[in-house]
Structures are given as structure tokens and as C-alpha cells.
Amino acid sequence: MDRRHPVASHRKPHAWAAALAFSALTGAVVAFVLMFPWAATRPALLIALAFILLSILSLIAAWRQDRDMARQLTARDAMLHAAFLSTPALTLSRDGLIQRMNGAAVALFGLPREAALGRAFSDLTAEFDMDAVLRSDAQAGHLENRRGYWTGRRADGSTFPLSLRFGLIPSTPGAGGSGEEHVAVALTDLTHSHAAEAQARELHAQLNKVWRLNSLGEMAATLAHELNQPLSAATAYIHASQAEMLKAGPAADAGRPPLDLAKGQLLRAGKLIHRMRELLTIETSVLGRERVSSMIEDLAPILQMIGQDKKVEVRLDAEAEADGVRADRIQFQQALVNLVRNAVEAAAERPGGGAVHVTGRVEGPVYRISVEDNGVGIAEADVDHIFQPLTTTKSGGMGLGLSVTRTIVERHGGALSAQRSPSLGGAAFAFALRRHEEASR
């Protein structure tokens, strides 16, 4: 294997070649002057001296370049050595037998090095197939598995998820046999990664549950408002009818009981709707001390997944200093998820690539959170009513997302605003929460 640095392999030979050429030319000039004394004139001596100086300078330059390349190679070797010590790695023969194993790999599988050497790697990694590696046309790359990860088996019988990368080792001329090192394998323990993904999925499910309850509450409030008017009108009509029947005297007595029953049922329907609204209305009686940067950081995996599904870049930039507020953590996160989801859907329609920026900044006594995208933005005709329930510009949308988000923000003492993003050109939604100094500590 050529261990030379790429720059060294191209530049160092040229430097030494130039130095040797000057030295040879200088020697020829000096020899000519010595062999032919009649040529030792003042100009000739000056020319010979110039060649000597150029030869010395070229040798010094070549030496300095060689020294610099040696330093670069030393630094690179130190980096590679550090990476090799920290990354679990091993080598396999053509038969899939372990030939070499570094300390990190020994610790990962929890078995003595002597017990691992000469053992089939498939004993430690289920479903590993050496023949599939040999049939691959690639010299290096990621080893795929139908489940997306491999399963490692420790000495105590416990299992853990693994990611494998391989690289073929060039064969040594004249060497051979089943014991020759043929493939180098780097291993990555995915235990923590899978645990983080499971935690993100659990949080996402919890947020979805809260979202459904919030949507039901908003829908109940909307229905209560819309149905209250016709119910009140019907009650008023019945009351007027009862007054007219009193004027009619005993002849109308037979019709009064049905009207009384109808009026009672209308009033009961109104109370039921009001009660349903109270039960499903978002509860914010308890606002705890929270840090905005922490709440956003917990959401990072979910927000990145939302962006990846639509091939939109989601960038998070929340200032962590003095970011303490009083908030319901789940409600706050649900409001932010909804704003980011809307922004991602808007930015996904941009041909040149979508981008969404979530920013958090301290502005005096408040902490301001903004969600901006580079989509088409909000039409001026829609700005005044985008927060109204059952208003949507999406096909198949219920029109409750921004309405619920605004309700959550208002229950936290803030106000949700919408405008054009000055930096990305799309929509920008923002709200501010009053800072709480004790929560920042």
C-alpha cells in the first residue's frame, strides 16, 4: 500500500528533480571553467556563482518541502491510528474467518481476542454472508441487510444492532491460502441510535395523541359557536309561539306540552355542546418551568424526519442562553411540530430545493420563536383568515392546524403572527413567550 500523502507523491519528486538538475548544471559549468582557464573571465565566474547559489537554494527548498510532507504524514498517521483505536475493526479471510481484531472490537463483542481469532465472523454477526462480499463488484462500501442493520452477538448471548462497512485488502503476490487477510470490516454499534429513534417515535406518538385531542377541542368550539345561533333562534321561536298560545286561551292548551318539551330539548342540546366544548378545550392550568432550547432539541429527530420525507432541509438554531419560559412542554412542542410540518409542505413544492429555518432568540423580556420557509408564501387575501377554524388552502385539509396552534400560543400568553420571510422569501410564522429567569438556570 502506498503510504505517501497525495500532495507529497506529486510535488516532492518534482522538487528533488529540480534541485538535482541545478546541481548537475552547476557542476558542468564549474568543470568547464576549470578545464578551460581562458574561459575564466569575470562574467563566466559570476554565472558559475549564480548557478551554485541556485543549486543551494533548490536543495534547501526540496529539503523544506520534504520536511513539511513528513510532518503531514506523521499527523495523518496519528489521526488514522486514533481512529483505528476508537473504531471497532477486524479483518477476515476469504473463508470469513477472523484474522485480526483491534481492542475496540474485542470490547464490543466481549470475548477474549484468542477466542475470536480463527472463528467464523458469522458466529458473531447473524446472517453475515462472506460469499456476498466476494461477489460484490465494489472495492469498499456499506454492507446492506434486508432489515437495515445487522445483529451482533456478544459472548454472554446478548444481541445488539450493528452497521458494517468493508474494504477489500489487495492480495500479496505469491501469497495465498485461506488464512490470508482479504477483507477489512469496520463496525458501528447502533444501540444508542436505535434507542434515540425509539424515544423519538414515542414522543411523536404522544404528540399525535395530543394533536387529535386539540383538534377535537377546536372542532367542538367551532361547532358550539356555529350551532349556538340556530339553537338560540329555534328557542326564541318556540318562546314566541308559547306567548301567542297564551293569548289564544284554553283552545291552545293542548299544544303547549309539546312546545315545552321541544324547548327543553333545545336547551339541553345547547348545554351538551357547551359541556363537550369544556371537556375538549385545551387545558393549560399548569405551566411548568421549561427551556425553549431543550424543548426544541428533543424535537430535532422528529423535525428532521418530517423534512426528510419531503426532501426539505430543516435547520434548527435556538439560542440557549436565558431561554427559560413557563410552558406546557407537550403543547409547546405540538404547536412547533405543526408549524414546521406546514412549512415543510409549502417548501417541498419549490423546484430548487426546500428549506425551513426554526430560530429562537432572546428579545428583551421575551423569547421569540420563528418558523420560516422558502415556499410560495401566504397570499395577501388569505392573511386575515388563515387562523380561522375550518379554513384551509390544502386539498383534503381540515383547516384546524393553525387554529389549534394559535390557541396553544394564546394559552401560553403569546400571539401567533404570519408574514413574508425576509430571508427565505416564503412564509414566516412567529410567536414570543415571556421569559422566566429561574427556568433558565
Rounded average pLDDT over 227-240: 76
- Average pLDDT along the chain: 77
> At the fourth CATH level, which superfamily is domain 288-440?
Histidine kinase-like ATPase, C-terminal domain (3.30.565.10)
Whole-model pTM? 0.47
Q: Which pLDDT belongs to residue 263?
A: 75
Q: Which pLDDT belongs to residue 428?
A: 93
Integer Cα distance of 227 and 234 in angstroms = 11
Q: Is the pLDDT of residue 7 over 50?
A: no
Report yes or no: 347 and 376 within 8 Å, Cβ to Cβ: no
What confidence category does residue 3 fall into, taking pLDDT thresholds of 50, 70 and 90? Answer: very low
Q: Which pLDDT belongs to residue 9?
A: 44
Q: Which three cell numbers stand for residue 374?
A: 422558502
Rounded average pLDDT over 220-240: 72
Integer Cα distance of 29 and 49 in angstroms = 9
pLDDT in tens, 409-418: 888 899 999 8
Integer Cα distance of 109 and 97 in angstroms = 15
What is the rounded end-to-end Cα distance, in angstroms, of the chain? Answer: 55
pLDDT in tens, 98-129: 998 888 888 899 888 888 898 999 899 988 88
Which of these, 379, 383, 386, 385, lies nearest to 338 by C-alpha position? 386
Domain ranges (residues) in the chain? 6-86, 89-171+178-189, 196-280, 288-440
Integer Cα distance of 404 and 280 in angstroms = 12
The CATH architecture one would assign to domain 89-171+178-189 is 2-Layer Sandwich (3.30)
pLDDT in tens, 13-65: 555 566 566 566 666 666 655 565 655 566 666 666 676 677 677 777 777 87
Which of these, 336, 335, 344, lies nearest to 313 by C-alpha position? 344
Q: Which pLDDT belongs to residue 244?
A: 77
Q: Is the pLDDT of residue 280 over 60?
A: no
Q: Which three cell numbers stand for residue 257?
A: 306540552
Which of these, 171, 166, 210, 205, lies nearest to 188 by C-alpha position? 166
Looking at domain 196-280, its CATH class is: mainly alpha
